[in-house]
Chains A and B, each alone.
Chain A
């Protein structure tokens, strides 16, 4: 629970925002979770708002869920880890889903991107939002019997902040948290002293930043040989590129609402299969119970299979179509009009229909979109295909006769189809799109002496890059839209946006945040450094008698409440 004073003042503030109509009840729940309100406290806030809708969304698995069955063996399937998993460096789905079984984060993400306490029981910022105090859960032990405490959190965070350890979290925390900024106040209290105020900081130590899984202070980089964690399962066997088996952690701290010991399952077996078609066939044959991430392409047969249930989650993953504003034709005075012209060529409904059977959410080139990120203001302009406008913009930019552009992308997932759709939809406006398809490895490769200056994904004039789910619009913006962002394919450098963004992340006042978010959204749309045509809905496939699988996005799969009901 957050401190009483903060909770009272911030809670009152949230209620006022809802009563004034500036925030929905769902948005209140998400923001309350970011500032560490307990479920009870958030419920009291909702009650104070009046009305009878609770603002929560039942997870698809929860709908009609029978009484949990204790015990059982779950067979699940997904890709193999690219390397031997190391929580400090993992970046791929195969590695992340595996370590998530026996490691935990301070905070977990719910399906709606609200935050759920895990190893942290509460978290609270100071008035200037640059010091966050985390109260840790007591009575938790690692599966080797050693107690969990503040020192483990400090060493975990210092480890990912050390460049020598090669963690991707370092880039995510860039400019927000530096080595030496984490202090153990006592055994169960940790303070994070940030480099600058950052209101979305809790997301950065949640399962949304997957390299921040809490490891014992004695960790030596050998998680497969010594799989020590606080999570619900124990790693039993790991065969590279083939399988991993898990068994219940008998000393796990978690219990369900009825006081039953978690996890429900006794054992699970993860089969590593790279090929999506092969994964789907294994599900259809009945050989597997669960596929944590289902790719849209080829999933039609799964939707139609009477023995399977495909859960649909409001994902936040995107395909970033970036205009490199340092390169022609996007640079210079007329670059903005040209970028906007391409934006108005897109029929986003048709793209969504073609790529995702219409099941994803439309995007309008801004991250602050209330459809996927609760707490965001309305999108300034819901862009639709408008060739007249596109031609006018081209004409304004001195390209009345059209232009030729090159679109670079990896042959991966639905990128080639998206590139073809962009090509087709730009043609009527006189924009000729040359497709530059690279292998996945070539797209992300670069000269090690100057990786960021040579890799196609950050240097092509126009590119498509696939991004997995991010829990908040500010996290996306910090990663790709700021001038010091290390993953900026657009190389956008808009001072107004940067200043507004810093103000946005420096305040806990939701009214101010909403106003600033509106401005950020307008700036992003107006300058159009990137196109965000859609936010990809997540699919998860399981047998119809499998329930309780949790975890938003594609990479996290919490099986602690999973059970197999009687057929």
Chain B
């Protein structure tokens, strides 16, 4: 397995190079305007924009600019944000840690709850409880986060005033206060993910329950709790873990709406703003960081799956 992990880690390098080229090209080709225009706005003359683009080196051919950026990046120089005039590395890392905290907190809420609901529904297949859990969790999944977010904010922050209206506490707040501020933004994410993961857990449970070894375990007279925790759960989790792994990347870099609504300085919002403004160093650093996390999360999911089910041989 170690060799396999090493191989997967090595594969990340060409993948990241490809991602960086793609992002560079997409931002240049599909996002209208230039960094000079983003900085100076629509009310200046072409000549003024060209002068600034020249000064920033943004008028050079795209290949030259890419190589210049890539050369700096691999040597640890992430460059400066053209728009915000600050070094990219601390900006991206701060946003990344913010996103990591929110994603981690959301996962802590989502994973146990969705697995419990899914397994519970699977164990009582076709019962009223099963249908209630399935329908209600799937219904929550289809509510866009900006809708659930606004409703939650209005009810819990504006009306009842139980929870803060933003996701970022005052400077110097202790860690538990930071988590308290993250409760409200985590709930729309829970709505979105709960139904998806619970469904996978339910399907896995139902499939495992129909396996002969479960029938054998029951007929052997094993207590139900041992059957569920010792045999059903372990095997039912394989598809669920894979799904959770694939969602980590989204939870980290795809929360643009929630970050905007709760005014949370995460990496998703940073990426969108950087892309729209042609702030290439900022965009590339953000995207590559999220890509690395995405790949590592999937690798970890694969390892966990292999550990859960020794019959699965990674890459085999």
Is the C-beta of B165 less than 8 angstroms from some C-beta in chain A?
yes
Note all chain A residues with C-beta closer than 8 A to B83: 82-84
User: With A168-B44, A446-B33, A449-B46 given, can you name 10 additional A-B contacts, CB distance below 8 Å?
Assistant: A82-B277, A92-B41, A163-B45, A170-B44, A240-B91, A277-B150, A278-B261, A441-B32, A448-B49, A457-B42
Note all chain A residues with C-beta closer than 8 A to B157: 281, 285
Is the C-beta of B36 less than 8 angstroms from some C-beta in chain A?
yes
- A44-52, A268-276, A429-437 - the one binding chain B: A268-276
A278 adjacent to B85 (CB under 8 Å): no
B46 adjacent to A168 (CB under 8 Å): no
A442 adjacent to B32 (CB under 8 Å): yes
Is the C-beta of B161 less than 8 angstroms from some C-beta in chain A?
yes
B86 adjacent to A84 (CB under 8 Å): yes
- Which A residues from 185 to 243 make CB contacts under 8 A with B? 224, 240-242
Is the C-beta of B260 less than 8 angstroms from some C-beta in chain A?
yes
Is the C-beta of A91 less than 8 angstroms from some C-beta in chain B?
yes
Is the C-beta of B40 less than 8 angstroms from some C-beta in chain A?
yes
Taking the closest CB of chain A, its distance from the CB of B265, in whole angstroms, is 6
- B50-58, B130-138, B206-214 - the one binding chain A: B50-58
Is the C-beta of A55 less than 8 angstroms from some C-beta in chain B?
no
B84 adjacent to A83 (CB under 8 Å): yes
- Bound-state Cα–Cα, A286 to B165, Å: 9
- Which A residues from 439 to 463 make CB contacts under 8 A with B? 441-442, 444-446, 448-452, 455, 457
Which size bracket describes the interface of A in this complex?
A: 35 or more
**Partner pick for B84 among A84, A285, A449, CB 8 A cutoff:** A84
**Partner pick for A281 among B37, B40, B50, B150, CB 8 A cutoff:** B150
Is the C-beta of B246 less than 8 angstroms from some C-beta in chain A?
no
Query: A171 with B261: in contact, given A442-B32, A446-B33 (CB under 8 Å)?
Result: no
Note all chain B residues with C-beta closer than 8 A to A446: 32-33, 37
Is the C-beta of B154 less than 8 angstroms from some C-beta in chain A?
yes
Is the C-beta of A257 less than 8 angstroms from some C-beta in chain B?
no
Is the C-beta of B31 less than 8 angstroms from some C-beta in chain A?
yes
Which size bracket describes the interface of B in this complex?
A: 35 or more
Taking the closest CB of chain B, its distance from the CB of A243, in whole angstroms, is 9
Is the C-beta of B233 less than 8 angstroms from some C-beta in chain A?
no
- Which A residues from 234 to 282 make CB contacts under 8 A with B? 240-242, 271-275, 277-278, 281-282
- Bound-state Cα–Cα, A275 to B263, Å: 8
A170 adjacent to B45 (CB under 8 Å): yes
Is the C-beta of A111 less than 8 angstroms from some C-beta in chain B?
no
B41 adjacent to A168 (CB under 8 Å): yes
**Partner pick for A452 among B46, B59, B261, CB 8 A cutoff:** B46
Note all chain A residues with C-beta closer than 8 A to B269: 241
Taking the closest CB of chain B, its distance from the CB of A359, in whole angstroms, is 24
- State the 10 A-B residue pairs at the shortest beta-carbon distance, nearest first: A445-B32, A91-B41, A168-B43, A445-B33, A285-B165, A84-B85, A451-B46, A444-B42, A166-B40, A166-B48
Taking the closest CB of chain B, its distance from the CB of A445, in whole angstroms, is 3
Question: A273's closest neighbor in chain B, by CB?
Answer: B263
Is the C-beta of B288 less than 8 angstroms from some C-beta in chain A?
no
A282 adjacent to B49 (CB under 8 Å): no
Give me 28 A-to-B residue pairs in the complex whose CB atoms sit less than 8 angstroms apart, sorted by A's number. Answer: A83-B84, A84-B83, A84-B85, A89-B40, A163-B45, A163-B51, A164-B51, A166-B48, A168-B43, A240-B84, A241-B273, A273-B263, A275-B260, A275-B261, A278-B153, A281-B157, A281-B165, A285-B158, A287-B165, A441-B31, A441-B276, A445-B32, A446-B33, A446-B37, A448-B34, A451-B45, A451-B49, A455-B42
- Which A residues from 397 to 411 make CB contacts under 8 A with B? none
Note all chain B residues with C-beta closer than 8 A to A287: 164-166
Taking the closest CB of chain A, its distance from the CB of B293, in whole angstroms, is 21
**Partner pick for B53 among A82, A170, A444, A448, CB 8 A cutoff:** A448
Note all chain B residues with C-beta closer than 8 A to A282: 165-166, 263
Is the C-beta of A523 less than 8 angstroms from some C-beta in chain B?
no
- Bound-state Cα–Cα, A351 to B129, Å: 52
Is the C-beta of A184 less than 8 angstroms from some C-beta in chain B?
no
Question: B32's closest neighbor in chain A, by CB?
Answer: A445
Note all chain B residues with C-beta closer than 8 A to A356: none
Taking the closest CB of chain B, its distance from the CB of A83, in whole angstroms, is 5
Question: B164's closest neighbor in chain A, by CB?
Answer: A287
Taking the closest CB of chain A, its distance from the CB of B198, in whole angstroms, is 29
Taking the closest CB of chain A, its distance from the CB of B94, in whole angstroms, is 10
Note all chain B residues with C-beta closer than 8 A to A277: 150, 261
B44 adjacent to A167 (CB under 8 Å): yes
Is the C-beta of B191 less than 8 angstroms from some C-beta in chain A?
no
User: Interface code B58-95, partner A: CB below 8 Å = 1, 0 otherwise?
Assistant: 01000000000000000000000001111000010000
Is the C-beta of A10 less than 8 angstroms from some C-beta in chain B?
no
Question: B154's closest neighbor in chain A, by CB?
Answer: A281
Note all chain A residues with C-beta closer than 8 A to B32: 441-442, 445-446
Note all chain A residues with C-beta closer than 8 A to B270: 241
Is the C-beta of A502 less than 8 angstroms from some C-beta in chain B?
no
Taking the closest CB of chain A, its distance from the CB of B253, in whole angstroms, is 16
Is the C-beta of A486 less than 8 angstroms from some C-beta in chain B?
yes
- Bound-state Cα–Cα, A172 to B31, Å: 28
**Partner pick for B39 among A83, A170, A449, CB 8 A cutoff:** A83
Note all chain A residues with C-beta closer than 8 A to B297: none
User: Interface code A75-94, partner B: CB below 8 Å = 1, 0 otherwise?
Assistant: 00000001110000101100
Is the C-beta of A487 less than 8 angstroms from some C-beta in chain B?
yes
**Partner pick for B45 among A242, A272, A442, A486, CB 8 A cutoff:** A486
A278 adjacent to B263 (CB under 8 Å): yes
Taking the closest CB of chain A, its distance from the CB of B204, in whole angstroms, is 38
Note all chain A residues with C-beta closer than 8 A to B43: 91, 168, 171-172, 487
Is the C-beta of B100 less than 8 angstroms from some C-beta in chain A?
no
A82 adjacent to B38 (CB under 8 Å): yes
Note all chain B residues with C-beta closer than 8 A to A451: 37, 45-46, 49
Is the C-beta of A284 less than 8 angstroms from some C-beta in chain B?
yes
Note all chain B residues with C-beta closer than 8 A to A449: 46
A89 adjacent to B41 (CB under 8 Å): yes
Question: B50's closest neighbor in chain A, by CB?
Answer: A448
B49 adjacent to A166 (CB under 8 Å): yes
Note all chain A residues with C-beta closer than 8 A to B260: 274-275, 278
Taking the closest CB of chain A, its distance from the CB of B188, in whole angstroms, is 13
- Bound-state Cα–Cα, A272 to B264, Å: 10
- Bound-state Cα–Cα, A442 to B53, Å: 19
- Bound-state Cα–Cα, A445 to B37, Å: 8
Is the C-beta of B168 less than 8 angstroms from some C-beta in chain A?
yes
**Partner pick for B44 among A82, A171, A278, CB 8 A cutoff:** A171
Q: Which of A83, A167, A287, A486 has the most chain B CB within a 10 Å cutoff? A: A83
- Which B residues from 240 to 277 make CB contacts under 8 A with A? 260-263, 265, 269-270, 273, 276-277
Taking the closest CB of chain A, its distance from the CB of B219, in whole angstroms, is 58
- Bound-state Cα–Cα, A452 to B46, Å: 7
Note all chain B residues with C-beta closer than 8 A to A274: 260, 263
- Bound-state Cα–Cα, A164 to B38, Å: 16
Question: A287's closest neighbor in chain B, by CB?
Answer: B165
Q: Which of A172, A441, A486 has the most chain B CB within a 10 Å cutoff? A: A441
Query: A166 with B52: in contact, given A278-B263, A452-B46, A486-B45 (CB under 8 Å)?
Result: yes
- Which B residues from 105 to 158 make CB contacts under 8 A with A? 150, 153-154, 157-158
Taking the closest CB of chain B, its distance from the CB of A444, in whole angstroms, is 4
- Bound-state Cα–Cα, A109 to B64, Å: 48
- Bound-state Cα–Cα, A163 to B44, Å: 9
